[in-house]
């Protein structure tokens, strides 16, 4: 069985990337220069103050030990589930009590030196040894279990929670605390990725409040879930900002989302790692979906998880839906789908969802750009557009794949190309040179196309979409005429992403 939890970059900022150096400086440097330990006094002051206003924000954004765990230990960690007992109240309180007992005992021991130069050295040494102890114990736990195992019962974390509760009681944190916020629960894929990448293994997608916020006191506001949510619907917001966001969100494409029980009636091997599944609806017996939308397939109950797949059929009678699934190396969901889905099985679906690739067939000129498994929505869409609008001026499909064997539905697209004069099918291979197929990437073709008047729909890898988007803008296509869907989070309205892409 594949590991449920995913190792992913959690250190997005300069401080999170480099604060681990402070840990080494204090813990190891303190052995030679004890006064370095006095830095911890400022660290404690910082964490208690930020906690008062913003909960455990410090743990996710400034803590030097956390930076060490996430940056240095994550790559070699076994990244397993953190045992429940280590998150339990008795353990948390016992560690806090031990910390205070030990700390006060040591402070009492040096109290006789108060006012002397030696006092600062001894005090620094106490802090620095404590830092070293956390480095050793936290480090072992980080490698053997999960990088943030220590954080579950860290006395500094517990003190932050107490400071936060005080801020909350006084009504102050409400104004300043930014919580993970979901723009609309209807748009959530229930894929659990937010939980699989969460350093604390929390489950935001199962716990969003009425106000669409994640209220868990242990959330360290590290934004790892936000960076990884494929639906791009998470952000950090105050209560007031959350209210504003949820008030203005559009649910177009999600109105018809429903739970569907369905039966697998066909499974076809399209390549050695790609299968096509046909589901027949049982309850309700008919589902109205549009080509270009996607559907969720339930893979397990505990924790509840689905996977999103583009609909590849064009919905002839509302009774069946087809999806095409590519097996992902180390993929948790695809290993379940490939190993345990059989013809005749009943499965739970949810959908239809999405409107990014829902096309207006009356448009005069359409360009579809796909790479990899992103070709799947265009199988149903191309036929649907041509049947709804046979006199469309131009419909072009660019299909970028690595090898000829990856060209799914190649004969089907070729026959559409033959049948419809206004449809142009352009396969492109990046790793294989064949006499009648262009070699390169879809972007190589895009650069030279005359795209005046086209509306563009893209589906595929993040890189392809970011690079193509840049080319399209350079060619004068307006932002509002470019639409895209990807399995990765893409936010091209965000200027930083565009700069990275350029």
Ligand X SMILES: Cc1cc2nc3c(=O)[nH]c(=O)nc-3n(C[C@H](O)[C@H](O)[C@H](O)COP(=O)(O)OP(=O)(O)OC[C@H]3O[C@@H](n4cnc5c(N)ncnc54)[C@H](O)[C@@H]3O)c2cc1C
Q: Which residues bind ligand X (CB under 6 A)?
A: 2-3, 6-7, 230, 294, 307-310, 323-326, 328-334, 373, 376, 485, 487
Shortest Å, Cβ 439 to ligand X: 25
Shortest Å, Cβ 231 to ligand SF4: 4
Shortest Å, Cβ 339 to ligand X: 11
Q: Is 440 left (phi over 0), alpha (psi -120 to 50) or beta?
A: left
Contact pattern from residue 163 through residue 182 relative to ligand SF4, giving x for each residue in contact according to CB under 6 A and a dash for the rest: -----------------x-x
According to DSSP H, which parts of 111-254 are helical?
Answer: 117-144, 155-169, 173-176, 193-196, 224-228, 239-248
Shortest Å, Cβ 311 to ligand X: 8
Shortest Å, Cβ 219 to ligand X: 22
DSSP secondary structure letters along 263-320: EEEEEEEEETTEEEEEEEEEESS-----TT-EEEEEEETTTTEEEEEEB-S--SSSSE
Residue 237 interacts with ligand SF4 (CB under 6 A)? no
Query: Using CB under 6 A, which of 92, 123, 142, 194 touches ligand SF4?
Result: 194
Residue 229 interacts with ligand SF4 (CB under 6 A)? yes
Shortest Å, Cβ 324 to ligand X: 6
Shortest Å, Cβ 349 to ligand X: 13
Query: Using CB under 6 A, which of 65, 221, 257, 298 touches ligand SF4?
Result: 221
326 binds, among ligand SF4, ligand X, none (CB under 5 to 8 A by kind): ligand X
Residue 223 interacts with ligand SF4 (CB under 6 A)? yes
Shortest Å, Cβ 230 to ligand X: 4
Residue 55 interacts with ligand SF4 (CB under 6 A)? no
- Per rule CB under 6 A, count of chain residues that contact ligand SF4: 29
Contact pattern from residue 15 through residue 54 relative to ligand SF4, giving x for each residue in contact according to CB under 6 A and a dash for the rest: ----------------------------------------
According to DSSP H, which parts of 358-399 are helical?
Answer: 376-388
Q: Pairing between strand 294-300 and 346-353?
A: antiparallel
**CA 359 to chain centroid:** 26
Smallest CA-to-CA distance from 78 within 5, 129, 22, 146 is with: 146
Q: What are phi and psi of 211, to 5 degrees?
A: -90, 10
In this structure, are residues 173 and 55 in contact, taking their beta carbons and an 8 Å threshold? yes
Query: Using CB under 6 A, which of 188, 297, 397, 398 touches ligand SF4?
Result: 188
d(C-alpha 270, C-alpha 276), whole Å: 7
Counted residue by residue, the chain has a size of 502
Residue-wise burial string across 8-38, b where 16 or more C-beta atoms lie within 10 A, e elsewhere: eebbeeeebeebbebbbbbbebbeeebebbb
Determine the residue with CB nearest ligand X. Answer: 331
Residue 79 interacts with ligand SF4 (CB under 6 A)? no
Eight-class DSSP state of 71:
I
Residues forming the site for ligand SF4 (CB under 6 A): 60, 180, 182, 188-194, 198-200, 202, 204-205, 214, 219-225, 229-231, 233-234
């Amino acid at each position: 069985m594949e590991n449920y939890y995913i190792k992913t970059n959690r250190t997005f900022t300069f401080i999170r990337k480099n604060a681990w150096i402070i840990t080494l400086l204090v813990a190891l440097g303190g052995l030679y220069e004890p006064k370095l330990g006095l830095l911890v006094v400022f660290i404690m002051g910082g964490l208690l103050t930020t906690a008062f206003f913003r909960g455990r924000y410090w743990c996710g954004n400034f803590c030097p030990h956390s930076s060490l765990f996430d940056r240095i230990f994550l790559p070699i960690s076994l990244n397993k589930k953190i045992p429940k007992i280590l998150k339990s109240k008795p353990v948390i309180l016992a560690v806090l009590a031990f910390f205070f007992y030990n700390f006060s005992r040591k402070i009492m021991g040096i109290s006789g030196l108060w006012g002397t130069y030696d006092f600062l050295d001894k005090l620094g040494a106490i802090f620095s040894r404590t830092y070293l102890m956390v480095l050793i114990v936290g480090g072992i736990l980080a490698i053997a279990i999960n990088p943030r195992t220590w954080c579950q019962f860290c006395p500094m974390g517990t003190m932050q929670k107490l400071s936060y509760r005080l801020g909350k009681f006084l009504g102050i944190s409400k104004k300043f605390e930014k919580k993970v916020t979901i723009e609309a629960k209807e748009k959530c894929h229930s894929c659990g990725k937010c939980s699989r990448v969460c350093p604390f293994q929390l489950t935001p997608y199962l716990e969003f409040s009425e106000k669409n916020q994640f209220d868990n006191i242990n959330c360290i506001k590290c934004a790892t879930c936000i960076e990884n949510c494929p639906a791009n619907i998470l952000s950090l917001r105050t209560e007031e900002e959350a209210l504003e966001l949820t008030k203005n969100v559009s649910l177009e494409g999600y109105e018809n989302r429903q739970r569907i029980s369905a039966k697998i009636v066909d499974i076809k091997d399209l390549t050695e790692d790609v299968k096509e599944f046909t589901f027949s609806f049982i309850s309700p017996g008919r589902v109205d979906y549009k080509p270009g939308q996607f559907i969720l397939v339930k893979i397990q109950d505990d924790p509840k998880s689905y996977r999103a797949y583009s609909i590849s059929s064009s919905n002839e009678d509302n009774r069946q839906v087809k999806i095409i699934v590519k097996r992902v190396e180390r993929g948790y969901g695809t290993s379940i789908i490939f190993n345990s889905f059989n013809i005749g099985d009943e499965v739970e679906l949810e959908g239809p969802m999405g409107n990014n690739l829902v096309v207006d067939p009356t448009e005069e000129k359409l360009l579809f750009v796909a790479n990899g498994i992103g070709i799947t929505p265009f199988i149903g869409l191309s036929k649907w557009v041509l049947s709804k609008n046979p006199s469309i001026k131009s419909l072009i499909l660019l299909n970028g794949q690595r090898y000829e064997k990856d060209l799914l539905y190649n004969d089907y697209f070729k026959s559409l190309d033959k049948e419809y004069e206004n449809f142009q099918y352009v396969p492109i291979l990046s790793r294989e040179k064949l006499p009648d197929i262009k070699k390169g990437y879809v972007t190589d073709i895009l650069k030279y196309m005359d795209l005046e008047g086209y509306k563009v729909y893209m589906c595929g890898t993040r890189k392809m979409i970011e690079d193509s988007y840049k080319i399209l803008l350079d060619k004068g296509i307006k932002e509002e005429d470019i639409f895209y869907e990807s399995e990765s989070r893409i936010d091209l309205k965000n200027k930083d992403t565009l700069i990275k892409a350029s």
